[in-house]
Each structure stands twice: as structure tokens, then as C-alpha cells.
Amino acid sequence: MHDFSKHKQMKKTLFILFMLAALCCCRQRDTFCIEGNVSGAADTVLYLEHLSLGEGAVAIDSVRLGEDGAFCFRKEAAGNPEFYRLRIGGQAVNLAIDSTETVRIRAALDSMSFGYTVEGSGVCDTIRLLCLKLADMERRARRISADRNFTLQERDSMIGQLVGQYKTEVKLNFMRDRYAAAYSYYACFQTLGTQLIFDPVHERSDLIWIQAVANAWNERYPSCPRTENIVAIVRECQRSQAKPRQITLNIDGDKVRELGIIDMTFPDIDGQDRTLSDLRGQVVLLDFTAFAMDGSTERTLLLRELYNKYHERGLEIYQVSLDPNQHLWKQRCEALPWVCVYCEEGLESDMLTLYNVQQLPYFFLIDRNCDLQARQETITGLEEAIEKLL
């Protein structure tokens, strides 16, 4: 009898331990961890701050460091990317947490802001690279600003060129094809001094890139405050920049998918705006071209054969002309049966960059769900590829 009671008590104890372990596991799945050490920082206070939307940097935890400079912060995960920083005095490490990951930071106090290393998060390491790149630009801008061999106008122009080069590198090397990444969102709000580097209010090109990030976040994180924030910024800037022939990247999550298309609206020969995503339900050959190029006539004949053969089964062509001569475009496309639109920005259009178009002419295939399925160099037989999508 005694053995039976003892056995029963043991089972009860094991059950309690099991439940506690399960509870701990459940809680751990909902948390992230930031740990590491800061050398040379004994007896200083390290703050973990949340970079909030409305209140700026808000301290959410702190620790007084010992001789080894070790620290460990564990916090509840938000369910979407959020931004934080570790700070001692004026030294800070910027971080983005998008899951229940463990991020390890190693730094020395005297070079904490730019000399740290990251383990466990490629996103945080990319933000480190962005911060290093920005710091380098800031140093160069300060040297230009202090050089009195140039006039104020010349200094402003040179700094403007620096900023332009920086944005181009960030767009192409960090943001392109990775619009849903936390570091792409972060890049949209970097500043030089007190001024935003990306200026969607005044720079039409910047707005297009920020729209691409807004589209991707609206698809992946449709209800989170950061998505609502960037979408609201885009909409406000669209209203302030409203022009009859503005390129638009539709923010509607039903029309733009992170791995689908980047939407566009251009005028046709009658001046009517034609939007790519309006062709949902059809297989679309998206064609970037210029009618002034050699071989354009022969290529148009080939496209007409494709159109005649497959249009009744659901094929449509959305052809974007990048010709510098709009009159030539109107002459060439007047009798064409498919959707022909004109991009007045020509070869300077950000659409070429966003779609990574390296040459003209160039085409893509889009399925009936408005998802990008193939690009020119990945298609061995165009008719066969169209048949599969139909």
C-alpha cells in the first residue's frame, strides 16, 4: 500500500514537472533573447530601448554591467518585425527582431556603435552594414560642409550627390527584391542629421521605393502598426505628389503580393490609365520595349502571332514603351490589339530597376492570380511556358 502511494505521488510530481516544462516552452516560443557582452564597460548601465512609432526610443529594460560586461535581455516577441537598440550613453547598437530568435552582440564600449559583431540574425547584421554605410556618408558630408574652398551652393550640391549615391546603393544592394525585410523598412527612415534620406514628399523616385516596401509589408504583416504607418505615409505622399501620369504601385494586398508583381499604371494611346493588376484572371506577357530599337518590327510580328493564337484562351499583353519619342510610339502601337502604354520616364524609370531589367526588349510572364512566374532568361520556350499557365 505504501509503495502504491509512493508511486502515485511520483506520478503526480512528474506530471507537475511536465506541465511546468511545457509552460516554459510555450512562453519561450513567444519571446526573443538579446545577449552578449560589452568589454570595457564595467559598472555602466546598458539600456534596451524599443524604437516605438509614437514616442521614439523608450527604455524597456536595463542592467548594470559587471567586469565581464555580460548581459541578457529576454522579451515578448511582437509577431512582426520590431526595432530596438542597446545603448550606453551616446553609444548604441540598432537591432530588428522579427521572430523568437536569439541575437548575440559582442562589442567594446569605445567602439560600440560601429565596431560590434552580430551572431544569430542576418537582419541585424544587415542593419549594422547600413549603419556603417550611413556613418561613412556622414563623415564625408561633414568634411564637405567644413571646406570653405567651396561656396554654400557648391557644398549643398556635393552633399546632395553623396546622398543620391547612397540611396542608389541602398536601393540596389539592400532593398531590391527584399522589400518585406525589416532592414528595407529601416532604410526608409534613416536620416542625415535631422533630414530623412529617403524623401517621399518631394522625390518621386523615393516614393516608388517606399511604396514597394509598403506593398510587401501590407501583404506579409497586414494589421501591424508599422505597416499601417508606412502605408499611411505612402498615401499622403501620393496625394501631395498627385500628377496625371504618375507611376503607381498599388497598395491593395489583393493586387500586390510579395512574391508576385510590382503594380504599375501608365496611359495608353488614348490617354486612359491602364493598370497592370486590372488584368488579373488572364495570363499576361509583361513586355518592356522601345519601338525605336532595331528589330522592333519583326518582334512585333512575333508578338502578334502569339496574341492571335492564345488571346481567346486568356492571354493578354501589357506592353510598356520606353521610347524617348512619344509620337513614334503612337504611330507604331496605333493598330496593335493588346494593351500598349507609354512610360514618359523612359530609361530613367524606376520600374526597370524594381523589375531588374538589364536590357531591352525584356519580358515577364504573369499568371492568372497576378503572380510573377517567369522572366525572359528563365524561359526556354515562350509558347510552351504560356501553354502551362493557360
Residue pair 212/219 in contact by the 8 Å Cβ criterion: no
Give me the DSSP letters along 102-135.
Answer: EEEEEEEGGGTTTS-EEES-HHHHHHHHHHHHHH
What is the three-class DSSP state of 291?
Answer: coil
pLDDT at 154: 83
User: What does each C-alpha distance from 82 to 114, 191, 196, 332 come to in angstroms?
Assistant: 21, 18, 20, 50
Residue 108, sorted as left (phi over 0), alpha (psi -120 to 50) or beta, turns out to be beta
Asked if residue 45 lies in contact with residue 63, where contact means CB atoms within 8 angstroms, the answer is yes
Count CB neighbours of 245 within 10 A. 13
Tally the C-alpha atoms within 13 A of residue 381's C-alpha that lie toward its C-beta: 5
pLDDT at position 155 = 82
In this predicted structure, what is the pLDDT of residue 186? 94
3-state secondary structure of 177: coil
DSSP single-letter state for residue 201: T
Nearest-10 crossing angle of helices 122-146, 152-170: 170
Q: How far apart are CA 82 and CA 70, in angstroms?
A: 23
**Cβ-Cβ contacts under 8 Å for 138 (sequence gap 6 or more):** 192
Just give the CATH number of 29-120.
2.60.40.10
CATH 3.40.50.1820 fits 265-389, yes or no: no
DSSP label at residue 276: G
Contact 242, 70 (CB under 8 A): no
Q: Between 204-220 and 225-240, two packed helices, what is the crossing angle to 10 degrees?
A: 150
Q: Where are the domains of the chain?
A: 29-120, 134-240, 265-389
Residue-wise pLDDT tens for the chain (390 aa)? 445 455 556 555 555 555 555 444 444 457 899 999 999 999 999 999 998 887 778 899 999 999 999 999 999 988 889 999 999 988 899 999 987 789 999 999 999 988 999 999 999 999 999 999 998 998 898 888 888 888 878 888 888 899 999 999 999 999 988 999 999 999 999 888 767 899 888 788 888 899 899 999 999 998 889 999 999 888 888 877 654 343 343 333 333 333 357 888 899 988 889 999 889 899 999 999 998 887 788 888 889 889 999 999 999 999 999 988 888 888 888 889 999 999 988 888 888 888 888 888 899 999 988 888 888 887 778 888 999 998
> Would you say 59 and 129 are in contact if contact means Cβ atoms under 8 Å apart?
no
**336-354: b (≥16 Cβ within 10 Å) or e:** eebbbbbbeeeeebbbbbb
Answer whether 29-120 and 265-389 agree in fold.
no
Whole-prediction pTM: 0.60
Query: Quick one: pLDDT at residue 370?
Result: 83
pLDDT attached to residue 5: 54
Residue 196 CB coordination number (10 Å): 14
